[in-house]
């Protein structure tokens, strides 16, 4: 249900990242109504920053853009002027870079004691790995995620089908921390410096496995427990048409429903019997191969069996349930035309969105944003003349 007033209306966020976990974070904040201002380099230095494809990160939906040369003293001062009026400051530079630029937490806090300053990095602001470069696959590897996933044909860990570290361990991690700090500020009046490490976020995602090892000495991995494929009731099976079904019948009642629906009643009392799991899998697989995937879904999904289709992306975008819940929105780009995109799907965000008009690649809101921060027109003109802003 759409809210009449967005939950983060009136909250201003400065985002100095172009891609990755920080951009995932501010996408979430923008979907909740925050005024997110993307701070990028001026054109002559933009080649040093990754420019995402036109459709990514919501295609700039609900975002504004400024371009500032942060290496110029005047550019630093302009950013600090923006920070003085902001609620949240998000950066994803290598640890130490913002301090060298004069826009670190202490510098921003000096002009805005209530700022919530979020530093996102792969391995955190401290520790022996803090200066390591990395991407999603590296954080998932360090945090045990890859080792607990079913191996590929050559025995090595698989490459995940989604950037779980960037989106959840990083982006959602940062958003949760920011919202918590904003909530605390209502009571204390004080801001915070948040050290968001994506590797820490993966550790939190993996805590069930990690805690099992720490408590029992067990070595979690593929097939070590029900959630990593030990039992036939939690697996994927191929249907007659070559498409696949996911089965997650963990609870005994759901497992019993599944056995009866598949004609496998002989296994009703053996759900957790390790000695016969190969037999259960073989019989389940044989049963599923007798009908097409969607026929099974029609019968089993509503019948308390914990069965769902394994969709290709091209299928899920037209799924009637997701469409009915308003999961997709429309955007219009001058060069690429009208296209659909993932909407504001997280709980409490407005689902009914107008068509988003994608800004031109060279469009900026620099002048308007600087004026809102109290920068005079004369100063703005001088910044343009010096090539410090665009």
- List, by residue number, the catalytic residues: 135, 166
pLDDT band at 51 (very low <50, low <70, confident <90, very high): confident
Taking Cα atoms as reference points, which of 138, 126, 128 lies closest to residue 95?
A: 126
pLDDT band at 29 (very low <50, low <70, confident <90, very high): very high
Taking Cα atoms as reference points, which of 35, 21, 90, 66 lies closest to residue 369?
A: 66
> The pTM is what?
0.93
* pLDDT in the model for residue 270: 98
Could you give the percent of the chain with pLDDT greater than 90? 92
pLDDT digits 0-9 by tens, 244-265 = 999 999 999 999 999 999 999 9
Residue 3 has pLDDT above 50, yes or no: no
Could you give the percent of the chain with pLDDT greater than 70? 98
Residue 178 has pLDDT above 80, yes or no: yes
* pLDDT in the model for residue 364: 94
* pLDDT in the model for residue 2: 44
Rounded mean pLDDT, 198-226 = 96
Q: Each residue of 38-48: b (16+ CB within 10 Å) or e?
A: bbbbbeeeeee
CA distances (Å), origin 17, targets 88, 119, 169: 13, 10, 17
Rounded mean pLDDT, 378-389 = 96
Strands 337-342 and 328-333: antiparallel
Are 116 and 110 spatial neighbours (Cβ–Cβ below 8 Å)? no
Question: Residue 389, exposed/middle/buried by CB under 10 A (0-12, 13-18, 19+)?
Answer: buried
* pLDDT in the model for residue 48: 61
What tokens were used for 277? 């799991």
Rounded mean pLDDT, 146-151 = 94
Residue 15 has pLDDT above 50, yes or no: yes
Distance of CA 334 to the CA centre of its chain: 27
pLDDT band at 202 (very low <50, low <70, confident <90, very high): very high
pLDDT digits 0-9 by tens, 65-87 = 999 999 999 999 999 999 999 99
Residue 49 has pLDDT above 70, yes or no: no
Q: How many CA within 13 A on the CB side of residue 202?
A: 26
Q: Among 48-57, 121-130, 153-162, where is mean pLDDT lowest?
A: 48-57
Rounded mean pLDDT, 327-348 = 94
pLDDT band at 45 (very low <50, low <70, confident <90, very high): low
* pLDDT in the model for residue 1: 40
pLDDT band at 18 (very low <50, low <70, confident <90, very high): confident
Phi and psi (nearest 5°) for 332?
A: -135, 125
pLDDT digits 0-9 by tens, 263-286 = 999 999 999 999 999 999 999 999
Domains and CATH numbers, the chain: 12-205+339-385 (3.40.50.10540), 226-238+244-309 (3.30.1540.10)
Instruction: Give dist(CA 254, CA 164) in Å, integer.
Output: 29
Instruction: Give dist(CA 106, CA 193) in Å, integer.
Output: 9
Spatial strand order in the sheet of 337-342: 337-342, 328-333, 356-357
* pLDDT in the model for residue 351: 86
């Amino acid at each position: 249900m759409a809210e009449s007033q967005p939950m983060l209306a009136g909250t201003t966020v400065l985002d100095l990242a172009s891609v990755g976990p920080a951009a995932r974070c501010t996408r979430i904040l923008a979907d909740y109504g925050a005024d997110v201002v993307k701070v990028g380099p001026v054109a002559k230095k933009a080649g040093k920053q990754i420019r995402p494809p036109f459709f990514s990160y919501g295609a700039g939906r609900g975002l504004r853009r400024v371009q500032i040369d942060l290496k110029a003293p005047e550019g630093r001062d302009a950013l600090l002027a923006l920070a003085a009026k902001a609620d949240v400051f998000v950066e994803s530079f290598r640890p130490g870079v913002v301090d060298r630029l004069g826009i670190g937490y202490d510098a921003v806090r000096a002009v805005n004691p209530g700022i919530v300053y979020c530093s996102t990095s792969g391995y955190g602001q401290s520790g022996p790995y803090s200066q390591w470069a990395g991407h999603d696959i590296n954080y998932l590897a360090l945090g045990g995620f890859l080792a607990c996933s079913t191996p590929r044909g050559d025995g090595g860990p698989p490459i995940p089908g989604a950037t779980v570290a960037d989106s959840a361990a990083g982006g959602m991690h940062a958003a949760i921390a920011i919202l918590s700090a904003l909530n605390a500020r209502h009571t204390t009046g004080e801001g915070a410096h948040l050290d968001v490490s994506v590797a820490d976020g993966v550790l939190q995602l993996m805590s069930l496995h990690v805690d099992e090892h720490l408590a029992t000495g067990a070595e979690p991995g593929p097939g070590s427990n029900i959630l990593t494929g030990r039992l036939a009731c939690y697996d994927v099976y191929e249907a007659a048409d070559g498409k696949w079904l996911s089965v997650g019948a963990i609870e005994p009642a759901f497992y019993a429903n599944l056995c009866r629906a598949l004609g496998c009643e002989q296994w009703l009392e053996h759900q957790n019997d390790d000695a016969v799991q190969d037999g259960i899998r073989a019989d389940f697989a044989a049963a599923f191969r007798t009908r097409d995937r969607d026929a099974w879904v029609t019968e089993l999904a509503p019948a308390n069996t914990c069965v769902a289709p394994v969709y290709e992306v091209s299928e899920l975008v037209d799924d009637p349930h997701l469409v009915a819940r308003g999961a997709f929105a429309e955007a219009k780009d001058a060069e690429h035309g009208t296209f659909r995109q993932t909407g504001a799907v997280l709980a409490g965000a407005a689902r009914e969105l107008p068509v988003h008009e994608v800004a031109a690649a060279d469009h900026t809101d620099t002048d308007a944003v600087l004026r809102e921060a109290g920068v005079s027109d004369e100063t703005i003109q001088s910044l343009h003349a010096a090539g410090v802003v665009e």
